[in-house]
């Protein structure tokens, strides 16, 4: 009965942090949080160990936030905390990897005693500086750098802190509103935790924390025991900035842990694609956990058996003050790298490679872009916006990949209407891209095509941070690669995949997002599924015939005789 009682409390705790996350979404000002869900929320014991996380949120935020609370406690021990205090930072090495993420930590008191900590992270649209993009050569160029400070002292706001925030951002109202939102959702978590502890007559979270950690660790070790022992190696390539980037991993499956060594990975970049080590650990652990222990709740103990060795000087271990603004471009490739290792051990559990990194173009317009050079030409109102979009995911062992869906980040695609409502942007086209999913026994998810302009087709700028253009997602077990991405102007001019670029008057930005790769031999795919894909516009009749050896009639039915002939030719 005691164990059932503790399990009920554990589930209740997860409900508490999910409400914490949902309140943030409902009260946030930035579309990145409100529409895309680019956030995390969780509860920690007084030692700074994550007990539970919200279902809503991204692995990069959650798993790096799991490390960041310890940094807060080193500067502000729990003995100095009081009810109503809120602490904040965006330090990439103490938080979640770049300056656009704000992390807030709040003590939870039950009666006069501190019993735990609530923490959350959210991605804000503007934090000053160069804005979100790879152009910076130092973290100091990328935006305002907030050390771990108290933004609310026993319920009273730190006016000096908020003065700095408002003065340093292009979007002061949105930034200030997001900070209030982060603090408010932690306050809600504190209230719900107090109600829970009163209901269950708890005086401390320590017994529940021990139960959560012991259960999670035992369950994770049991799952590791099911993986064949050995050392498995893989590599994956990013387009990089100055030159291509090689990510290399050697994974040791041991009795009580999994160790990953990133020796052989490319060195640091002079631009903002570098990855702080906590963010590397966050997405590497997530990639392993997806395969090894997907059903076990994510917390300090279930992550502890996954350990990383990240050599100094490599792009996955960026030291301060290297630029890291778009660390997700490299970081989002790490789950595919982990799966490349694990495919050699448990191929039946692993997906093909996907588009991976988000395509979230920061768009900017107005006088700051056009300046006086326009003469008598009109200038649009100043704006700064980020829109989140995704290519296709890799094919799964028993199902196709997901179309235009974010993995590994898990953020939602932002609705066109939400973007157009807050900025003078028009998305003239946003549709799935046929034949972009890699062919296979199970097909890769397809990417999408976007056509973006401003109202009146006036000039604007994009701070590109795209990938999977020179290095398309790779198939597994005979599956074909997904389609590579493409960035261009409507006029036909190809754009650089990374960096600040201006789209001139009368032109539009065209984004072709990558498709996920296929898994298994395409010529054994069920012909009925191929015909369905042709009917749905995901695969052309030509590629159905050429790649899948399936003939489809004009009415989108399988031509049985011709398909049998095509497949017999392949066999002979």
How would you classify the pairing of strands 509-512 and 448-454?
Answer: antiparallel
Report angle CA 176, 177, 181 to the nearest 5 degrees: 120
> If you ran DSSP here, which 8-state letter would residue 470 be given?
S
Helix (H) or strand (E) holding 122: strand 113-123
* Among the listed residues 303, 475, 328, the one whose alpha carbon sits nearest the alpha carbon of residue 407: 328
How would you classify the pairing of strands 306-309 and 258-261?
Answer: parallel
* Among the listed residues 494, 496, 453, 464, the one whose alpha carbon sits nearest the alpha carbon of residue 365: 453
User: For residues 264-303, b (16+ Cβ closer than 10 Å) or e, as one string?
Assistant: ebbebbebbbbbbbbbbbbbbbbbbbbbbbeebbbbbbbb
Dihedral angle, C-alpha 238, 239, 241, 244, nearest 10 °: 80
Rg (CA), the chain: 24
Report angle CA 72, 169, 411 to the nearest 5 degrees: 65
Residue-wise pLDDT tens digits, 110-125: 999 999 999 999 999 9
Distance, CA of 443 to CA of 534 (rounded, Å): 12
Residue-wise pLDDT tens digits, 213-223: 999 999 999 99
Per the rule left: phi > 0, alpha: psi between -120 and 50, beta: everything else, 203 is alpha
> If you ran DSSP here, which 8-state letter would residue 516 be given?
P
Alpha-carbon dihedral sign for residues 40, 46, 47, 50: negative
Look up tokens 């590629």; give the residue: 543
Residue-wise pLDDT tens digits, 298-340: 999 999 999 999 999 999 999 999 999 999 999 999 999 999 9
Look up tokens 């999408």; give the residue: 448
Residue-wise pLDDT tens digits, 103-159: 999 999 999 999 999 999 999 999 999 999 999 999 999 999 999 999 999 999 999
Confidence tier at 571 by pLDDT (50, 70, 90): low
Look up tokens 């050392």; give the residue: 231
- Residue 1 in this model has a pLDDT that exceeds 70: no
Average pLDDT, the chain: 96
Q: What percent of the chain is modeled with pLDDT above 70? A: 99
- Residue 371 in this model has a pLDDT that exceeds 90: no
Residue-wise pLDDT tens digits, 36-53: 999 999 999 999 999 999
**Number of Cβ atoms within 10 Å of the Cβ of 252:** 16
Write out the two tokens for 147: 């050390």
Distance, CA of 548 to CA of 541 (rounded, Å): 10
> If you ran DSSP here, which 8-state letter would residue 347 be given?
G
Are 526 and 563 in contact, with CB atoms under 8 Å apart?
Answer: no
Are 236 and 337 in contact, with CB atoms under 8 Å apart?
Answer: yes
Distance, CA of 177 to CA of 167 (rounded, Å): 14
Are 337 and 330 in contact, with CB atoms under 8 Å apart?
Answer: no
User: For residues 348-365, b (16+ Cβ closer than 10 Å) or e, as one string?
Assistant: ebbbbbbbbbbbbbbbbb
Distance, CA of 141 to CA of 128 (rounded, Å): 9
Residue-wise pLDDT tens digits, 408-459: 999 998 999 999 999 999 999 999 999 999 999 999 999 999 999 999 999 9
| C-alpha 247: how far from chain center | 18
Distance, CA of 403 to CA of 275 (rounded, Å): 27
Model pTM above 0.85: yes
User: For residues 409-446, b (16+ Cβ closer than 10 Å) or e, as one string?
Assistant: bbbebbebeebeebbbbbbebbebbbbbbbbbbbbbbb
**Number of Cβ atoms within 10 Å of the Cβ of 195:** 12
Residue 570 has what pLDDT?
A: 62
Helix/strand/coil for 52: strand
Distance, CA of 107 to CA of 84 (rounded, Å): 8
Helix/strand/coil for 152: strand
- Residue 373 in this model has a pLDDT that exceeds 70: no
Residue-wise pLDDT tens digits, 181-198: 999 999 999 999 999 999
Residue-wise pLDDT tens digits, 402-418: 999 999 999 998 999 99
Distance, CA of 327 to CA of 196 (rounded, Å): 38
- Residue 374 in this model has a pLDDT that exceeds 90: no
- Residue 285 in this model has a pLDDT that exceeds 80: yes
Q: What is the mean pLDDT of residues 493-500?
A: 96
Alpha-carbon dihedral sign for residues 53, 57, 62, 68: negative
Dihedral angle, C-alpha 411, 414, 419, 422, nearest 10 °: -50
At 173, phi and psi to the nearest 5? -65, -45
């Amino acid at each position: 009965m005691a164990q059932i009682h503790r399990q009920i409390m554990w589930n209740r705790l997860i409900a508490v942090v999910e409400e914490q996350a949902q309140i943030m979404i409902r009260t946030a000002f930035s579309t990145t949080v409100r529409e895309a869900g680019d956030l995390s929320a969780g509860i920690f014991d007084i030692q700074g160990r994550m007990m539970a996380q919200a279902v809503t949120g991204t692995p990069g935020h959650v798993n790096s936030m799991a490390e960041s609370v310890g940094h807060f406690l080193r500067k502000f021990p729990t003995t100095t905390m009081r009810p109503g205090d809120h602490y904040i930072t965006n330090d990439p090495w103490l938080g979640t990897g770049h300056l656009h993420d704000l992390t807030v930590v709040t003590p939870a008191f039950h009666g006069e005693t501190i019993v735990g900590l609530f923490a959350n992270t959210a991605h804000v649209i503007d934090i000053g500086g160069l804005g979100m993009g790879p152009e910076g050569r130092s973290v100091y160029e990328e935006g305002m750098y907030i050390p771990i400070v108290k933004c609310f002292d026993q319920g009273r706001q730190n006016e000096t802190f908020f003065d700095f925030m408002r003065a340093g951002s292009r979007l002061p109202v949105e930034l200030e509103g997001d900070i209030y939102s982060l603090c408010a959702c932690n306050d809600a978590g504190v209230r719900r935790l107090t109600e829970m502890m009163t209901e269950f007559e708890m005086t401390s979270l320590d017994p529940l924390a021990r139960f959560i950690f012991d259960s999670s660790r035992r369950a994770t070790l049991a799952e590791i025991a099911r993986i064949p022992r050995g050392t498995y190696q893989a590599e994956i390539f990013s387009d990089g900035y100055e030159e291509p980037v090689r990510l290399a991993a050697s994974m040791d499956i041991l009795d009580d842990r999994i160790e990953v060594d990133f020796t052989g990975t490319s060195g640091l970049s002079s631009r903002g694609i570098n990855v702080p080590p906590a963010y590397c650990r966050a997405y590497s652990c997530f990639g392993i956990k997806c395969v090894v222990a997907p059903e076990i709740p994510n917390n300090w103990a279930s992550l502890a058996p996954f350990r990383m060795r990240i050599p100094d000087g490599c792009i996955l271990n960026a030291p301060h003050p290297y630029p890291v603004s778009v660390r997700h471009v490299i970081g989002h490739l790490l789950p595919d790298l982990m799966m490349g290792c694990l495919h050699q051990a448990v191929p039946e559990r692993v997906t093909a490679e996907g588009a991976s990194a988000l395509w979230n173009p920061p768009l900017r317009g107005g006088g700051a872009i056009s300046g006086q050079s326009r003469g008598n030409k009109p200038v649009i109102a100043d704006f700064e916006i980020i829109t989140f979009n995704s290519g296709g995911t890799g094919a799964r062992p028993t199902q196709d990949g997901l179309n235009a869906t974010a993995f590994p980040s898990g953020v939602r695609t932002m609705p066109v209407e939400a973007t157009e409502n807050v900025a003078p942007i028009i998305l003239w086209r946003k549709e799935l891209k046929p034949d972009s999913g890699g062919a296979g026994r199970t097909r890769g998810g397809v990417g999408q095509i976007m056509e973006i302009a401003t109202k009146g087709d006036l000039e604007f700028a994009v701070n590109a941070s795209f990938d999977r253009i020179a290095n398309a997602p790779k198939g597994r077990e005979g599956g074909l690669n997904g389609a590579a991405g493409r960035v261009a102007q409507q006029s036909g001019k190809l754009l650089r995949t990374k960096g600040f670029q201006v789209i001139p008057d009368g032109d539009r930005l065209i984004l072709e997002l990558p498709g996920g790769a296929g898994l298994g031999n395409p010529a054994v795919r069920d012909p009925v599924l191929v015909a369905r894909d042709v009917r749905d516009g995901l695969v052309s009749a030509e590629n159905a015939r050429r790649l899948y050896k399936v003939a489809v009639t004009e009415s989108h039915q399988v031509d049985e005789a011709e398909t049998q002939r095509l497949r017999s030719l392949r066999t002979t």
